[in-house]
Chains A and B, each alone.
Chain A
């Protein structure tokens, strides 16, 4: 189970720290998909960075635990090994490093941290091929430099591929729908749905309801001003789409 309790966090800027998250609490059971929706500037991306442990994002209060383990006490790479996966809103380009090298390094770093044997080149290759096939990704992608020259759709599919390979316990998707046309969105959503598992929790961060037509959430939270202002079932997303954020936020204020 993922338990976030009264999480407060700052972002360090050149002008000093700015308080963004002002006490967020939610718990996600294994197998559940939660969505966080909110207007721009509500703290959605900050939440994903704080969970993943990015530099310059300082936790000032509260706690986050994953299956009882204190996530905030871990380094970012240790959180990944513990089973946290962040699908990036803007996947980063790494020139000169091809996908197969990157994935090999990632998978084996995680296995090493978990005290498992590293996989040899052949097993890795097989694993990548299988996953690519399952997700309908051409294995040509393995020879290309990480995200360099990838289309928007390819970048997001690459995130899903990595998610499939690393088999996380807790997946955070940060605005995965941004920059995707409807066909690409469907493909990505299918990939995510295929990874839904009774042992795995999802937190889907999105601005629009559109993605939630394809990935059905169990619980929807509305984030505004660094706080969760409303929680409900999937119908809340529909409501938001109809009424807009302003009305709902005002109603609870």
Chain B
């Protein structure tokens, strides 16, 4: 049908529309190419880490060499040559890590401005821009180049800094909590992260404190052939609350790049963590699939305390390969976990993403809402596990997975695993698959709405249930991103 051909043509046009695809021309300080014990030592030395951290890294590296890659996901890609990449790259001007904003290289500031990320506290405070204040940790390749609003947060007892700084300044917290939710040997990608992680954010919210502003980290991969190994650790002490947002972009390059992150969240009694991600890594060439980011991410939250809550919201539009399952371990009685996901794939993208909800405590609740949108020749898989352990009396889960197909060459798959070892548990699962109908599209066109905008409108409607869980400040951006990722597709 004519409609489908046009769709394909329009979706192809979109390839040039990855707006974050520029390269910042900046001198960097790199580790030699390849991966070895020496590289691990090099990174640790660059970060001026204490001995215990280096030991942890080396232990992980030794273990990693013996591990096999997880192959169960519905993803196809050539074997990764771990020796053909750089594991550390930092802008020369960044020196020893984040300093005051006045000292940050203007080229870096410009990069973040171009990406629409506010690093200038003064302007926000002075009301020059009308955004609500959001504290930002900006990670450029392997280092954090700036963290804003640190002093303001400190007044509330909130620690928000780069993970490298936390290792040096808050070793007791890092020692206690790092790798407590994702063990170093969890999976091969996470294990590699334990050996070579470079930067990321550290957040600690003291008891009873409601974090006074949104916290966010923007990850930017700039250097060619460089992997980014992000490490984030968020601890919400008793009765505290924090909302955190993570954003990611990278230049358009013909070579594949690796991003293997580990994110750990810990919520103590009555604490709540809301973690949102807008992932917009370069997805690779739309026709050939060349380039793009391999996004292998292990994200896990531990609801350690009673009545604690962890909520993951993700909008995944980028990456050539996405392998990512933000999960919750519901250990505390009455704790709850949520997973809200929109995953969009186009061109040759492949996404295998979902969640795990492990119910350990009594009356634990989990809720999973997943919206997968596939276009072009992409493959989009929801993979989820709900596990009810014997002690989880009265556990509840609700899962709804909806897939939307655009065109006739893409795939949508739903793979739910459900395991219940407690008779009192209640589990619900719903799944639907639909296409954007020609009727919907024609209705919009007849009302003067162009095809690209019509598709963005329909897809945003489809994803609305998830989008409304994003912090207000980011919801608008995320909606626009949905439009950009899919401009011009018809079912």
A77 touches B450 (CB 8 A): yes
In the assembled complex, the Cα of A97 lies from the Cα of B460 at a distance in Å of: 7
B3 touches A55 (CB 8 A): yes
A56 touches B1 (CB 8 A): yes
Output the least CB separation between A31 and chain B (Å): 23
Contacts of B444 in A (CB 8 A): 94, 106
Output the least CB separation between B385 and chain A (Å): 27
Output the least CB separation between B155 and chain A (Å): 36
Q: Does A67 contact B (CB under 8 A)?
A: no
In the assembled complex, the Cα of A186 lies from the Cα of B249 at a distance in Å of: 56
B447 touches A94 (CB 8 A): no
A166 touches B439 (CB 8 A): no
In the assembled complex, the Cα of A175 lies from the Cα of B368 at a distance in Å of: 43
Contact with B443, one of A94, A96, A105, A166 (Cβ below 8 angstroms): A94
Smallest Cβ-Cβ distance to B451: which chain A residue = A77
Contacts of B457 in A (CB 8 A): 94, 97, 101-102, 105
Contact with B458, one of A79, A80, A94 (Cβ below 8 angstroms): A94
Output the least CB separation between B285 and chain A (Å): 29
In the assembled complex, the Cα of A91 lies from the Cα of B464 at a distance in Å of: 21
In the assembled complex, the Cα of A78 lies from the Cα of B134 at a distance in Å of: 41
B460 touches A166 (CB 8 A): no
In the assembled complex, the Cα of A77 lies from the Cα of B463 at a distance in Å of: 24
In the assembled complex, the Cα of A75 lies from the Cα of B3 at a distance in Å of: 13
Given A92-B439, A96-B460, A97-B461, is A55 in contact with B2 using a C-beta cutoff of 8 Å? yes
Given A55-B2, A92-B440, A96-B465, is A80 in contact with B447 using a C-beta cutoff of 8 Å? yes
A162 touches B447 (CB 8 A): yes
Output the least CB separation between A110 and chain B (Å): 4
Contacts of B445 in A (CB 8 A): 53, 75-77, 80
Q: Does A86 contact B (CB under 8 A)?
A: yes
In the assembled complex, the Cα of A102 lies from the Cα of B450 at a distance in Å of: 13
A106 touches B448 (CB 8 A): yes
A145 touches B443 (CB 8 A): no
Contact with A97, one of B3, B438, B458 (Cβ below 8 angstroms): B458
| Proximity bits, A96-124, B CB within 8 Å = 1, else 0 | 11000110011001100100000000000
Output the least CB separation between B157 and chain A (Å): 39
Name B411-448 residues within 8 Å CB distance of A.
437-440, 442-448
Contacts of A95 in B (CB 8 A): 461-462
Q: Does A35 contact B (CB under 8 A)?
A: no
Smallest Cβ-Cβ distance to B458: which chain A residue = A94
In the assembled complex, the Cα of A88 lies from the Cα of B464 at a distance in Å of: 26
Q: Does A54 contact B (CB under 8 A)?
A: yes
Contact with A55, one of B442, B463, B465 (Cβ below 8 angstroms): B442
Q: Does A132 contact B (CB under 8 A)?
A: no
Output the least CB separation between B460 and chain A (Å): 7
Q: Does A36 contact B (CB under 8 A)?
A: no
| Proximity bits, B197-216, A CB within 8 Å = 1, else 0 | 00000000000000000000
B463 touches A109 (CB 8 A): no
A56 touches B2 (CB 8 A): yes
Contacts of B442 in A (CB 8 A): 52, 54-55, 76, 92
Q: Does B246 contact A (CB under 8 A)?
A: no
Output the least CB separation between A175 and chain B (Å): 15
| Proximity bits, A19-42, B CB within 8 Å = 1, else 0 | 000000000000000000000000
Name A121-171 residues within 8 Å CB distance of B.
145, 162, 166
In the assembled complex, the Cα of A53 lies from the Cα of B444 at a distance in Å of: 12
In the assembled complex, the Cα of A106 lies from the Cα of B464 at a distance in Å of: 19
B448 touches A96 (CB 8 A): no
In the assembled complex, the Cα of A149 lies from the Cα of B449 at a distance in Å of: 23
Q: Does A81 contact B (CB under 8 A)?
A: yes
Contact with B461, one of A52, A79, A88, A94 (Cβ below 8 angstroms): A94
In the assembled complex, the Cα of A109 lies from the Cα of B448 at a distance in Å of: 6
Contacts of B437 in A (CB 8 A): 92
Output the least CB separation between B262 and chain A (Å): 33
A52 touches B443 (CB 8 A): no
In the assembled complex, the Cα of A73 lies from the Cα of B32 at a distance in Å of: 61
Interface centre among B442, B448, B451 (most CB of A within 10 A): B448
A96 touches B449 (CB 8 A): no
In the assembled complex, the Cα of A170 lies from the Cα of B491 at a distance in Å of: 29
In the assembled complex, the Cα of A75 lies from the Cα of B441 at a distance in Å of: 13
Smallest Cβ-Cβ distance to B402: which chain A residue = A95
Contacts of B447 in A (CB 8 A): 80, 102, 106, 109-110, 162, 166
Contacts of B2 in A (CB 8 A): 12, 55-56
Given A54-B442, A96-B460, A96-B464, is A105 in contact with B1 using a C-beta cutoff of 8 Å? no
| Proximity bits, A46-70, B CB within 8 Å = 1, else 0 | 0000001111100000000000000
Output the least CB separation between B378 and chain A (Å): 22
A94 touches B440 (CB 8 A): yes
B461 touches A91 (CB 8 A): no
A109 touches B450 (CB 8 A): yes
Q: Does B453 contact A (CB under 8 A)?
A: yes
Name B86-129 residues within 8 Å CB distance of A.
none
Interface centre among A54, A56, A76 (most CB of B within 10 A): A76
In the assembled complex, the Cα of A24 lies from the Cα of B445 at a distance in Å of: 25
Output the least CB separation between B442 and chain A (Å): 5
Contacts of A105 in B (CB 8 A): 449, 453, 457
In the assembled complex, the Cα of A102 lies from the Cα of B445 at a distance in Å of: 12
Given A55-B442, A105-B457, A109-B453, is A166 in contact with B448 using a C-beta cutoff of 8 Å? yes
Contacts of A92 in B (CB 8 A): 437, 439-440, 442-443
In the assembled complex, the Cα of A253 lies from the Cα of B439 at a distance in Å of: 36
Output the least CB separation between B389 and chain A (Å): 35
Beyond contacts A76-B445, A79-B446: 4 other A-B pairs, Cβ-Cβ < 8 A, are A52-B442, A55-B442, A95-B461, A97-B461
**17 residue pairs from A and B, CB less than 8 Å apart:** A52-B442, A55-B438, A56-B438, A77-B449, A77-B451, A79-B446, A86-B446, A88-B446, A94-B444, A94-B457, A97-B464, A102-B457, A105-B453, A106-B448, A109-B453, A145-B461, A166-B448
Can you list the 8 inter-chain pairs with the closest CB atoms, starting with the nearest?
A96-B461, A97-B461, A80-B448, A110-B448, A96-B464, A76-B445, A106-B447, A92-B443
